[in-house]
Structure 1
Amino acid sequence: MDLSASELSSPVCYLSERDILPASTNMASESPLRIGYVPEHFSTPIHFAKRHFGLSAELVPFPSGTGHMITALRAGEIDVGIGLTEGWIAGLGRENLEPADGGYRLVGTYVETPLCWAISTGTNRAEITGVESLKGGKIGVSRIGSGSYVMGYVLADQQGWLSSKDKSEPFKETVVLNTFANLRRAVNDGEADFFMWEHFTSKKYYDNGEIRRVGEIYTPWSSWKIVASTALIGAGNKLDERVEELFGKLNEGIKYFNEHLDEAVNFISTELDYSEADAREWLKTVRFPENTRGVDMAVVDKTVGLLCKAGVLVPGKGMQPEDMTLLKR
């Protein structure tokens, strides 16, 4: 259920240039990086980098997702985040950023393939018969600016629910629920009508009957990026050497993952609460890069263009794609 070719080829709307404040630096620090990550199956190569290749880092789980990591980066609670492309870019593209420099920059690529977002409702919500039933409903999201929030607008754009005339909202209400567990509860008790979450993470709850699948939508971009706090960027845009070392360790973790798929399945099914069958199915859908350092600007441009079209970002406001990205491929 990917977006149409015409949507993917729509012109990119660039955001206006913003003065970037000088970043404070902590270049001399030898303390381990604090790395935020989502504790799902995608995190397996990160754990392998630490387990098998000596990645020196404190891994900080964020089950509520990318939006929470943005808050933590800006508060100085973590140094690096590994999360969803659309969440990072939406966070930097908004006007009136606080802090004014955005707090982080895109520095790396973690997953090359798109993400399949499952669209879910409550088990007994008989009035919701398909995606078309969701227009004007209440969308549950983890946080404003998270992937679950952004993809709601991408879905609305795909379905033709965004009015260019009156700029009306496609949904009656956006209900912020923070956690996946709260989202599942909310669609069953009526607080929200639907939510969007990664397919394999949702599947367990389809299988046990807790929630019901309505549909799916794929991101029209590679799904996971690595960002670094602006506090790690020194003079001449030089990145803290600990982040450069991180890229090498992640590359080793990914290579090991690809060469030890049975170990990956075992880790996912025992440490991350997925079934072995689902772990093996997921392996068929995901591709990690050989080199995590750097970001393809075409991906950033495409994401910004679609987020502008979907109404998540406003043309002429916020940070330009070029300024969001510190390390380019």
Structure 2
Amino acid sequence: MKTIKIAGVPEHFNLPWHLCIENGEFEAENIDLQWTNIPEGTGKMCQMLRNAETDIAIILTEGILKDIAAGNESSIIQVYVESPLIWGIHVAAKSNFNNLSDLENKKPAISRLGSGSHLMSIVNAQNQGWKTDNLQFEIVNTIDGAVEALANHKADYFMWERFMTKPWVDKGVFRKIADCPTPWPCFVIAVRNEFLDNNSDEVKKILKIINNTSIEFKEIPSIDRTLASKYNLKIEDVQEWLSKTEWSQKNLSKKTLNKIQNQLFELKIIDKKLTFEAIIK
């Protein structure tokens, strides 16, 4: 049995992986796929790939591209979720911020530097025509950290996946004042190059198993109720999320990669653009 470490956020997007693990599909291929939940998100997973603390990561596209450009010796082997991630822009429920324009020159809470919440706060500022050079950030690690930071006025707003954050909106902790979808496919599957070089057959088996599940995921009976129960979400929110979410079984095309790199370069999120072959395997 080959032990393989994989990491991802504890969110609804990753239920297909848990179903495959629970059903013994990887074990049937002599693979012990050991999943680790990473509530801190993409910045933490980039670090784990660099330190060989995980072999595979289900990770935000912009975050892993930034880290590969900065020397992370990993590659993208497939798009996992083709549709954009819808980032909700949240403020403390009792704050005086009511419109997106109120947040110009205000401080975003982010999980960590290099995370999606960090990079998308830059994307959002650019979208609004705000100056990004002077952005200050409050590092909070998790949603719970963001709740505390906004309540104590250490930060002014927090960007996180809209549906996973909605329970805090429903409880009157946060107020969502806008959405900011990613202008690219949101999640990819990244693998350490050293691991991929030595375990390409196992990686192919893993992709085949997850793709067989993700392609039929929406057709699983009562999947909306399963998701609602497992992730503490309202069923109508799950149904809306499912209608907007498309999984993928293909890798990034050269055209899409170039488009994403060009946008990240213009936003000064990356300082150089790499070749297709240096990123995609």
TM-score in terms of structure 1 length: 0.79
Instruction: Give the Cα separation in 1 of the matches to 2:23 and 2:256.
Output: 31
Equivalent position amino acid for 1:115 in 2: L
Separation in 2, partners of 1:79, 1:154: 29
SS in 1 for 2:215: helix
Is 1:123 the counterpart of 2:86 in the alignment?
Answer: no
**1: distance between equivalents of 2:81 and 2:237?**
18
Instruction: Count residues in correspondence.
Output: 276
Tell me, which stretches of 5 or more residues in structure 2 are unaligned? none
Matched, 1:78 2:54: yes
Q: Which residue of 2 aligns with 1:61?
A: 37
- Deviation, structure 1 residue 325: 2.2
1:132 is aligned to: 101
Distance 1:140 1:60 in 2: 24
Distance 2:20 2:146 in 1: 31
Question: In the alignment, is residue 325 of structure 1 matched against residue 276 of structure 2?
Answer: no
2:218/2:242 contact within 8 Å kept = no
Runs of 4+ with deviation above 4 angstroms:
none
The separation in 1 between residues aligned to 2:277 and 2:126, in whole angstroms, is 26
Give the corresponding residue for 1:22: none
Aligned position for 2:19:
48
Alpha-carbon displacement from aligned partner over 1:113-138 (angstroms, at most 9, x marks no partner) = 11110001111111x22111111111
CA contact (8 A) 1:90 1:150 kept: no
Offset at residue 261 of structure 1 (A): 4.7
| Pairing 1:199–2:158 present | no
Q: Percent identity?
A: 26
AA paired with 1:155?
A: N
Q: RMSD of the TM alignment (CA)? A: 1.7
Matches within 5 A, 1:70-219: 70-94=46-70, 97=71, 102-126=72-96, 128-162=97-131, 168-169=133-134, 171=135, 173-219=136-182
Separation (CA, whole Å) in 2 of partners of 1:246 and 1:207: 37
1:226 aligns to 2:189 (yes or no): yes
* Equivalent-residue separation in structure 1 for 2:275 and 2:36 (angstroms): 27
* Whole-angstrom CA distance in 1 between matches of 2:98 and 2:266: 27
1:296 aligns with 253
* Contact 2:81-2:188 within 8 A present in 1 as well: yes
CA contact (8 A) 1:148 1:196 kept: yes
Q: Gapped runs of 5+ residues in structure 1?
A: 1-29
Letter of the 1:70 counterpart: C
Is 2:222 aligned against 1:252? no
Deviations 1:287-313 (CA, angstroms, capped at 9, x unpaired): 112x24x32222221211111111212
**What is the match of residue 267 of structure 1?**
226
Q: More helix per residue: 1 or 2?
A: 2
